[in-house]
Structure 1
Amino acid sequence: MNILIVGTGYVGTTTGVIFCEMGHRVTGLDLDDSKIQALQNGKLYFYEPGVEVLLTKHIQAQNIIFTKNTEKAIQENDVIFICVGTPKGTDGKADLTFVRNVAESIGQYMNTYKVIVTKSTVPVGTAELVTGWIASKQAGQIPFDVVSNPEFLREGSALQDALHPDRIIIGTESETAKSVMKELYQNFRCPIIETKAKVSEMIKYAANSFLAMKISFINELARVCDQLEINVNDVSKGIGLDHRIGPQFLRAGMGYGGSCFPKDVNALIQTAKENGHPLTILENVVKVNDEQPLFFIEKIKRYLDGELKNKTIAVLGLSFKADTDDTRESPSLKLIEKLAKEKAVIKAHDPVVKLDASQCRTVEETIAGADAVIICTDWEQYKQLDWKSLKPLMKAPLIFDGRNMLDPDEMKKLGFKYGGIGHF
């Protein structure tokens, strides 16, 4: 089957190479010259482990091509996946400008029956909007169907998630479109849920919001554990072994970030308000998440006699999580902003993210002369550091573990003062 992927970000590119793996031919469409140039040369312009290897493989096999020619791409492909961004607007709602532009282009250029698939995360009711936008630009009455088929990819694990999904959601009432979608996914071994488009769209928002809620729950609980001298990691393990709860997303830390959770939770909150049913639990989930880096800052200040001014603080990790270069809504950046307001001297490092020229190139350079080290991202290389040999570089042996990734007892044996999230 010939598949068009519109939007070549981490969702679009990952989706494209996975369909190549399943035997389909894929065209990636984007209007950004630099993105197309990089992808044509087999180079990702973003960081996502494993995807570049498959990209190179399928470029060489001529299973995937990239183009800026919108008209030709739409006319030569049977199934069109919309994978463009839906950023948070100033009103908290998802901005559907890019989705609408794609839909109108499809309506303008389509020449035969097409199945149009919204892969982007979109508000409930978007499939109906896309149908209207396409129809409004058609010169004739060429038939088409719109399907909601949300992605459930985790940044840093997108390839694994795409190859081995927990479930596939197909949201459409068209039997023809269902048949096409099931043919596309026939080689996947997971439950396939057939439902209406609105239900599919709600499933995506509900899933991300529930996971965000688990994160904020354990983070708020960690604050109480601090006061009661309880290790929150022990609590997480104890409740996570209950199969009704599960251990995933119960690691206390500095809060969630990235391109999905903050945007999707806020979008669902806005949808609920517009329909007269505020989601007060989710509103508090956002509040806890916004406060979490500030809570950690206050804990650090207590260790430093209540003063951060002129203190040299080494920040390890800038991405919102390990194995990605995404800094959108990153707790690290919120923490750095607060440190700057407190007039601390900030030195930062990340294995992948490069924000500016003043950023340190090595961990050693970052922690040299530091009054304290803060681990903000759970990169494996930080866990594997030889902290014993690094200790003499520091002005004071203070480590604040914002991801609870180090062993507190081991760090204390090495002579460090150690503070984590929910570690007294």
Structure 2
Amino acid sequence: MFARNVAVIGTGYVGLTTGACLASLGHSVVCADSDRDKVDRLRKGQVDILEPELADLVADGTAAGRLTWVTEAGAAFEQGTRPVEIVFLCVPTPMGAGGLADLGVLEAVVDEIRTLLPPDCVLVTKSTVPVGTGDRITQLLDREDVAVVSNPEFLREGTAVHDFLHPDRIVVGSARQDAAERVAALYARLGAPTVLTDGPSAELIKYAANCFLAMKLSYVNAVAELCERVGADVVDVTEGMGYDRRIGQKFLSPGPGWGGSCLPKDTSALLQLADSADFEFRLVRAAIDTNSRQHKRMVDKIRLAVTGSRTGSLSKVKLALLGLTFKAGTDDLRDSPSLAVAALLRQAGADVVAFDPAVSPADDRLPLAVASDAYQAAADADAIVVLTEWPEFRRLDWPRLAACVRTPAVVDTRNLLDPSVLAQAGFTWSGVGRPARAESPPGGHLLTGSATASR
């Protein structure tokens, strides 16, 4: 594999992971970001993002000279003796008005670098962008010598480095086959299946994949509610489903809803695209509606656990919330279902105090009290509510927590905890899609030599 000279514009979650991982593959990478303080920290190997292995890759790449940092996009093209061959755009494309992705930052960067790009280089959109963005960038560039390529990322927060270096597939799309092949060659060492296609198809693949995952999560949350109504156990139901290779085990865990930086904005963006094409994408719309309903359903479960009624008053009820991030293993609070549930609880008059291993009590982004540990959060609480699946919560001293609370009740919206452990500590337990009588750890037991899952 030939090492390439690469520039990455933007050192957010996607850009930093992209730059560090490409450098680890042997490429020479320069990363540009307008935040001077951030660039100074990166030069020292300091990474602000909570992501396993990323800080080590940044430090190793910087020390080896394969990873350098600049504060101006134009300076990224002046590094080394050879010109930059491939430029990645990894800038924010947040949800804008009406749910469509806001391309303001992306277009501003394209305008800034338009005349600075080296001749015959390839400009790659790594950011998630609406279908047709590649054509729009081509028009903005007005450079026949610069090819535009779409190379969407499929990184999961908490496992981004692993996902980059062990991808399920590489997707590269462009109207110019030679440019697409140049970008695909960057990943040759990974040996992953590669999909070479046109630009619009590559852009749609990202949205189609994320929206499918959102629908799968909404589906399993609906199945969990059905389980509660008919007396089935969603853990056994999803285990039985997951052994079917057509379905798979992943994204079959019910919870308080889905969120994060991708699924909410990507589902909204796909709906906008469908509307613009005069197509009513009812499946995606139903997934979004189901997700919003799930937040309210969790509040009803909490009402039931505390008051004995799904319509009982939560006024002046104190609740200890365990988990604020949208999932475990990250410090990302964007569109977190935990925060959505917390907001509904506060609207209902509840007094909420939260604890999350990745959120500081001094964090001023949150409109609620954050404790320094779970025991402080649980002091005099009428119930403990698990909202994020941090494994640390399984290892809490539950007898000690029982001594802290006013009422020993746990609402486990992630089915994370072992009900028998809680029962021994004196707690009542309620999960999602599981009968209250369940006393074994989450997960059924496969009988050796049998296709029957039993408990």
Query: TM-score, structure 2 length as denominator?
Result: 0.89
1:332 aligned to 2:334?
Answer: no
1:115-139: per-residue Cα shift (whole Å, max 9, x none)?
011100111111101111111xxxx
Percent of aligned pairs with the same amino acid: 38
SS at match of 2:98: coil
Q: How does 1:20-419 map to 2 (within 5 A)?
A: 20-76=23-79, 77-135=84-142, 143-305=145-307, 306-354=312-360, 355-356=363-364, 358-419=369-430
1:269-289: CA deviations, max 9, x gaps?
Answer: 110011011100100100011
Letter paired with 1:324? T
> For this pair of structures, how many residues does the alignment match?
419
Deviation at 1:27, TM superposition (A): 0.9
Which secondary structure does the structure 2 equivalent of 1:288 belong to? helix
**In 2, Cα distance between the equivalents of 1:179 and 1:22?**
17
State the one-letter code of the partner of 2:20.
Answer: V
Can you list the C-alpha shifts for 1:89-140, whole angstroms capped at 9, x where unaligned? 12110111111112212212124111011100111111101111111xxxxx
8 A Cα contact 1:218 1:251, kept in partner: yes
Residue 452 of structure 2: aligned partner: none
Q: Write the distance in 1 (CA, Å) between the matches of 2:256 and 2:77.
A: 43
Structure 1 residue 351 displacement after superposition: 0.7
Supply the distance in 2 between the matched residues of 1:30 and 1:321 (Cα, whole angstroms).
Answer: 27
Structure 2: unaligned runs, 5 residues or longer: 436-455
- The code of the aligned residue for 1:246 comes to G
- Verify: 1:18 aligned to 2:10, yes or no: no
Q: Is the 8 A contact 1:259 1:329 kept in 2?
A: yes
Partner Cα separation in structure 2 for residue 34 and residue 331 of structure 1? 31
Which consecutive aligned stretches of 4+ in structure 1 deviate over 4 angstroms post-superposition? none
Shift of 1:75: 4.8
CA distance in 2, matches of 1:254, 1:405: 12
Match of 2:441 in 1: none
For structure 1, which segment, 101-110 or 216-225, has the greater mean C-alpha deviation from structure 2 after superposition? 101-110
Give the Å deviation of 1:142.
Answer: 5.8
Q: Secondary structure of the residue that 1:187 maps to in structure 2? A: helix
Instruction: Report the CA distance shift for 1:308/1:145 in structure 2 as closer, same or farther (over 3 A).
Output: same
**Alpha-carbon contact 1:75-1:109 (below 8 Å) kept:** no
CA distance in 2: counterparts of 1:243 and 1:109, whole angstroms: 49
CA RMSD of aligned residues (A): 1.4
- Which letter does structure 2 place at the counterpart of 1:66? W
Is the 1:112–1:142 contact (alpha carbons within 8 Å) kept by the matching residues of 2?
A: no
Between stretches 324-333 and 72-81, larger displacement belongs to: 72-81
Deviation of 1:291 after TM superposition, in Å, equals 1.5
| Conserved 8 A contact 2:9-2:73 | no
Q: Secondary structure at the match of 2:266?
A: helix
The question of whether the paired residues in 1 share the 8 Å contact of 2:256 and 2:294 is answered with yes
Corresponding residue SS for 2:346: helix
Q: After superposition, give the CA deviation of every residue in 1:276-323 in whole Å (9 maximum; x if it has no partner).
A: 111001001000111211101111111222121111100111100011
Q: CA deviation at 1:409?
A: 3.6
* Range with greater deviation from structure 2 (324-333 or 102-111): 102-111
Q: CA deviation at 1:182?
A: 3.0
Q: Distance in 2 between matches of 1:385 and 1:56?
A: 34
What is the CA–CA distance in structure 1 between the aligned matches of 2:304 and 2:146, rounded to whole Å?
A: 62
What letter matches 1:41 in structure 2?
A: K
C-alpha contact 2:323 2:389 (8 A) present in aligned 1: yes
TM-aligned CA deviation for residue 165 of structure 1: 0.3
Amino acid aligned to 1:334: A
Q: Secondary structure at the match of 1:37?
A: helix
Moved more, 72-81 or 396-405: 72-81
Q: Write the distance in 1 (CA, Å) between the matches of 2:341 and 2:246.
A: 34
- Cα deviation, 1:130-189, whole Å, max 9, x if unaligned, reads 111111xxxxx5611011100000011101101100000110232331332132111111
